[in-house]
Amino acid sequence: MDLTNASALVTGGAGGFGSATARRLAERGAKVVIADVADERGEALARELGNGSVYVRTDILDEAAIANAVEVAVKRGPLRAAVIVHGGPPAPGLGGRVVNKDGQRQPLAYFTHKLNVYLTSAFAVTSQAAEAMAKNDPLASGQRGVIINTASIAGFEGLPGQTAYSAAKGGIIGMILTLARDLAPFGIRAMAIAPGSFQTFVFDSSPEKALAKWAPIFLNPERMGDPDEYARLAVHIVENDFLNGTTIRLDGAQRLPGQDL
């Protein structure tokens, strides 16, 4: 996939995975639309990238906001790549296990919120990006675009207390092959990356504490992942037309235990 004179959309683009990916895509010549709600970081990143890249405030639970971000991208050039790496606002109600130590069940609102933030919104971005890509003129390879979603190793093997999150990320893993089949007639590929534990903004306030918590389950290398390692894989997926319809684990052989850490 050639990104010359093309645009790329990165939702959650001001975060750890997103900003690293935006930088790598800009290096390949893409005009990147950084879609997020972190205004200060997003605007600073857009200035850093230059090259026609721009920050667009985007609520990933709002279809109109997603449509606006896609439209901004298309105006900068054919949308060839969309990387969906957003997180979302905290869930309401009681988190933790489905039934806690006091015998109290987890509210349905918590589960529904997790699915909306991590799965429904991912489909919303995917479908709108795919619609725009389908209108592109095909490249010499016949390709029109590629969409990369972000799953998680929790989608395969979540920790206790991650049932809702695991369901959402497992949903992304489950839809990727079918997405690839749906979009194949348009020359659009669909892939997902399932990261393990990475040193993103979530852990910035206490990196030593985070490393100490997760260290027992690192295999090789014995450290948390670097967001640029996610970004490099994302760019490779964009550039390698034969990667399609699957989820790649990016975790240094990390496996989550069946008990609390």
* Residues designated as active site: 165
By the 8 A CB rule, do 219 and 163 touch?
A: no
The answer to whether 229 and 165 have CB atoms below 8 angstroms apart is no
Q: Are strands 188-195 and 54-57 parallel, antiparallel or unpaired?
A: unpaired
Give the angle subtended at the CA of 110 by the CAs of 108 and 113, to the nearest 5°.
105
Token couple for 255:
């496996």
Based on DSSP, count helices (H) and strands (E) in the chain, helices before strands. Answer: 9, 7
List CB contacts of 69: < 8 A, sequence separation 6 or more.
9, 11, 33, 35, 56, 58
Q: How far is CA 146 from CA 80, 97, 142, 204, 243, in A?
A: 6, 36, 12, 31, 10
